[in-house]
Amino acid sequence: MADRLSQLQDAIDQMATQFFSALRYIAVIDDKTTFDGTSPPPAAKVELARDLIFKSKQIEFLITSLPGIGVSEDEQQERLKSLETELKEAEEERCRAVQEREAAAEKLDAVIRRLRRF
Amino acid sequence: MPQEPPPGALSSAFPPPPTYYTHFTEENLTALKSHRLEDGTLPPDDTLPDPLCYLVPPPPPAGSYRAFGEEWMVPERYPSLEEAGIRQLYPPTSMAAVAAANGGGGGGGADKGKELTVDRTVELRRLSKSLLLNYLELVGVMGMAPEQFHEKTADLETILFNMHHLINEYRPHQARETLCLRMEEQLERTRRETEENRKAVAKVEDILAGLELVAKRADAICGGDGLGAGREKKVDDGVAKARVRDVEAWKALVGMGG
């Protein structure tokens, strides 16, 4: 799945395409009856209008769910820096743990070898 | 000076290799070494004889350069809408844009390119609303005077450009956000690995301690090493002790859950 920003841009492009398709439908395919406001509009037109509104709502939803909205660049930089130091510490800790594990494995190995000789 | 590249060599998507690459021969490179100044740097290329001057890298470009058929800015930044000749419908989003709008251009220094806290959500929403509204107006115009559609389509175009531009400007922000998430994930992974290693160590220590206990217990059961007994007896003792020890060890291992 594309990231949010690309999704949003795709939605906007789709909306523009819908604009065109709707106008073209009315110009080429529609029966050109005038809509006087008393009789209900044709179903196809209602559908076109509804699709446009749907797309618009979708765009709005995507806008509100943009990642990290309301976080300033400075805050991000700070978070990145603290994450970096944390990562370094965690990595050192991990290396120590791996060494400990290897030492333990060696000890176990030695014991097993001694048992075999017995 | 290096000769001009053939037209289209720099603007095509996959340009041919630069014309001067044939000059990078073994002899030329050795010859160039003898031209090096005392501090190891190369002299300016216009003081060198003909083929050698092509080997000196040119100074880094200033302003902009072309690569893969596109124009790139130095330092890299996203060209503003105004530069592309499109009216910007939202307030400036960065210090650089403010400076450009004020006609200052220079100055700003460290603050340049820093994002202002323009609420992109609000601006994007506004733009999406006016997009729909403008379309409605366009439909109206098409109903009344279809030949006057230019104005409205131009407006729609401007709004669409603005939305895309606003979103693209947001990309570095999203990139940082994604980086944060990835780093958090990695931190989590590293910590988990540390913990699992520690657990494994603890388990091994447990088993070893258990085995030591078993050995002591087996010694206690068999009672010493068969001191003072005959040779035969000693061997028997050894075997019996081994057997007891094995049984105890298995018990201990099973008790620990393998």
Domains of chain B, by residue range, sit at: 1-76, 176-255
More confident residue, A81 or B119: A81
Q: Is A93 on the interface with B (CB under 8 A)?
A: yes
DSSP code string of B93-140: -BHHHHHHHTT--S--GGGTTPBP---HHHHHHHHHHHHHHHHHHHHH
Chain-chain contact of A94 with B180 (C-beta, under 8 angstroms): no
Q: Are B138 and B149 in contact (CB under 8 A)?
A: yes
Q: Given a cut of 90, is residue A44 above it in pLDDT?
A: no
Burial class (CB in 10 A: 0-12, 13-18, 19+), B149: middle
CB count within 10 Å of CB A107 equals 14
User: Residue B54 belongs to what H/E stretch?
Assistant: none
CB contact (8 A) between residue B167 and residue A79 = no
For residues B23 and B51, what is the distance between their CA atoms, to the nearest angstrom?
Answer: 6
Query: What is the per-residue pLDDT across B188-245, written as a single tens digit (0 to 9) for each?
Result: 999 999 999 999 899 888 888 887 787 777 777 666 544 444 445 555 666 777 777 7
At a CB cut-off of 8 Å and minimum separation 6, what does A16 contact? B156, B160
CB contacts under 8 A, A 97-116 vs B, are 97-98, 100-101, 104-105, 107-108, 111, 115
Residues 9-38 on A with a CB inside 8 Å of B are: 9, 12, 15-16, 19, 23, 26-27
pLDDT at B101 over 60: no
The CA-atom distances, in angstroms, between A16 and each of A6, B26, B109, B122 are 15, 58, 39, 21
Nearest to B180 by CA among A89, A61, A73, A91: A73
> How many other C-beta atoms lie within 10 A of the C-beta of residue B217?
15
Task: Tell me how crowded residue B65 is: count the other CB atoms within 10 A of its CB.
Answer: 13
Q: When comparing pLDDT for B20 and B10, which is higher?
A: B20
CB contacts < 8 A (A, B): 125
pLDDT in tens, B24-67: 888 888 887 777 776 667 766 667 777 777 777 777 777 787 77
- How far apart (Å, rounded) are the C-alpha atoms in residues B24 and B54? 8
Touching B: A residues 35-74, CB under 8 Å: 52, 56, 59-60, 63-64, 66-69, 71-73
ipTM above 0.85 for this complex: no
Measure the CA–CA gap between A23 and B3, rounded to whole angstroms. 54
Cα separation, A12 vs B164, whole angstroms: 8
- What distance in Å separates the CA atoms of residue A7 and residue A65, rounded to the nearest whole number? 11
Residues 6+ away with beta carbon under 8 Å from B193: A94, A97
Q: Are B127 and A62 in contact (CB under 8 A)?
A: no
